[in-house]
A and B are shown apart, each in its own frame.
Chain A
Amino acid sequence: MKRIIRILPHITIILSLMFITFWILDIYNPLMNFIGSDISKVLLLIFCIAALITSILAVALDRKFNK
C-alpha cells in the first residue's frame, strides 16, 4: 500500500508529461489524432485516477500535519 502511494505521484508526473507532449504534437498534426485515440483515452482515465488519489492523499496529509 505504501509503495503504491509512493508511486502514484510519479505516475501522475509521467502521464502529465505525456499529455503535454501529445498536446504539442496535436497542434502541429491533429490528423494523427494523438489526443483523441482510444489509447489516449485510457491513459487519460489512468491519469485522472492517479491525480485524484494523489490529491486526496496530499489533502489528508496536509490536514494531519497541521493538526
Chain B
Amino acid sequence: MADLDKTNLEQDNRKKKTGKRMPIWMLIITDILLTAVCLGIFTLYYHVLPRHLASDEIVVATVGNGEDTTFTLPGSENTDTVSSSDTAESTDAAVSTDAATSTDTAASTDTSASTETANTDTSSTDTSADTEQTNSKPHGGNGGAADNKNTGAYTNYGNSDTLDISGSSSESDYIHNAQKTITEINNYSSDNIQFTTNQVEIGSGIDKITYYISDIYVTNVKYIKSAFATGEYGKNLREATLKMATDNNALLAINGDFYGNNEIGVVIRNGVLYRTEVYDADICVLFTDGTMKTYSPKDFNVDDVIAQGAWQAWIFGPQLLDGKGNILSTFNSTYYLSNKHPRTAIGYVEPGHYVFVVVDGRNTGYSRGVTLSELGQIMVDAGCVSAYNLDGGKSSAMVYKDAYVNIPAEGGRTVSDIIYLGE
C-alpha cells in the first residue's frame, strides 16, 4: 500500500514537472501546419526567389567573323518584295475574341495583324563584317568551334524520371488530313532575314486548334539569338517574352526552354557555355554551320557538340522528329506533358531554314492545344526534318515587333529566356 502511494506520488510529481501536455489532435495539426510552412519556404527559395547562378561562361563558338557558313535567302536576287495588305480583314475575322481569354494581348495582336502585314524592310543591315559577340568576354577563336574544348567534367544523370510516352498516329493523321484555314499574319524581308508568319486554324468548336507558324530564312545563324530575362544568367529570373523581345530589338521572338527553372541542364547561348549537366530531358543544338540536331540524354556528349560548333543548346524537349522528317513513335516526356497543351516548338528544314511554331490552347472554341504527336505532325507538314518541343503551357508566346502574335494561355507567364531573330 505504501509502495502504491509512493508510485502515485511520483507520477503526480512527474505530471507537475512536465506540465499540461498538448492533446494528440493538436500535435497532428501542428505537424501538418509546420509541414506546410516548410514546403512554402522550400518553394519560395527554390522556385520563386531569383538568384544569380555562378558560371564560367566559356565562349565555345563565334560567328560573324567572315569564316562562317552563310546561306542564300529564297529569291535573294529580287529584293523588291511586296506583301499584300488584303489579309488585314481576314486576319481580324480569324482572330475571334468571343472565346478568347480577356487579356491585353488580344487587342495588341489584332493591331499587330492589321497594321503589320504589309511591312517590308529591304534596308541593308548586314553586319557580317563585324564580329558578332553577344557576350562581353573576348575570344580569340576563328569562328566555328572554340579552340578550348576542355569544358570540365559533366554528369550524365541518365534517363530515369521521364518516360517513353507513346505517340499516336491517329492524332498526327488528324492534323495532316484536317482542313486548314491559313491566314498570313506578318512577313519580313531584309538582306539577312526573311520570314512569314501564318495563322493556321484546324477544326471547330471544342476541337479547334489555332497555331502560328513562322517560316524563317537567315543568311547566318548569328541572326538566331537567345536572350535571358533581365539580361543575366540565373535561377528564377523571369520576364515577359514581350519585354525581353522589346529590350533586345527582336524582329520575331518565341519563349525558350525556361532554363532558369532548374540548376542543371545544358545551356549554351549565343556561343557561350553556361552549364554542362545533362539530365532526363532531350537536348536541341543549333550549330554554327546552320544545322540543328536533337539528342536524347544518352546520346548527348557536350564536348562533341562544342567541337562541332554549338551556337545554341536548349534543354526542355522532347525531340519530335527523327532527323529525317518522321515523327518519333515514343517521346521522352511525362504523362502530364504529353496531354493537349499550348506548345512552342522550333524546327529545322535545312541549314538557314527554320520554323518557329506556337500553338495556343486552354481556350475552348479558339484553341484546345495539341499533343506531342500532333505537334510533330505540324512540324512535318512544315517541312522539318528535326523539331524540338520547347516550354509550353502558359509560357507559349510569339512576339512580332513589340506585340504578341498569339494569345498566351491564361494570360501567359514570365519566362527565363527567349529565342529571337535580330539583325
Contacts and interface: CB of A to CB of B under 8 A. Distances in A.
Contacts of B261: 31-32
Contacts of B337: 29, 31
Contact of A33 (B30, B279, B334): B279
B34 A10 contact: yes
B56 interface: no
Given A29-B336, A38-B263, A13 B31 contact: yes
Nearest to B37: A14
* 10 cross-chain pairs, A with B, having the tightest CB-CB distances, nearest first: A30-B161, A17-B35, A14-B35, A28-B336, A13-B31, A14-B34, A33-B262, A10-B31, A39-B46, A18-B39
Q: Give the bracket for the number of chain A residues in contact with chain B.
A: 10 to 19
Contact of B334 (A10, A28, A36, A37): A28
A37 B161 contact: no
A30 B32 contact: no
Contacts of B46: 37, 39
Interface string B193-225: 000000000000000000000000000000000
Interface string A9-49: 01001110110010000101111110011110001000000
Contacts of A31: 161-162, 261-262, 280-281, 316, 334, 337
Contacts of B334: 28-31
Interface of B: 27, 30-32, 34-35, 38-39, 42, 45-47, 157, 161-162, 261-264, 279-281, 316, 334-337
B294 to A, nearest CB: 16
16 contacts: A10-B27, A14-B38, A15-B38, A28-B335, A30-B161, A31-B161, A31-B162, A31-B261, A31-B334, A32-B47, A32-B262, A33-B263, A36-B157, A37-B46, A38-B263, A39-B45
Contacts, number: 58
A21 B32 CA distance: 12
Contacts of B264: 33, 36
A4 B32 CA distance: 19
Contacts of A38: 263
Nearest to A37: B46
A18 B38 contact: yes
Contacts of B279: 33, 36
A18 B161 contact: no
A33 B263 CA distance: 9
A14 B30 CA distance: 10
A10 B279 CA distance: 34
A24 B263 CA distance: 21
A33 B157 CA distance: 12
A1 to B, nearest CB: 15
A26 B157 CA distance: 15
B31 A21 contact: no
Nearest to B42: A39
Nearest to B391: A31
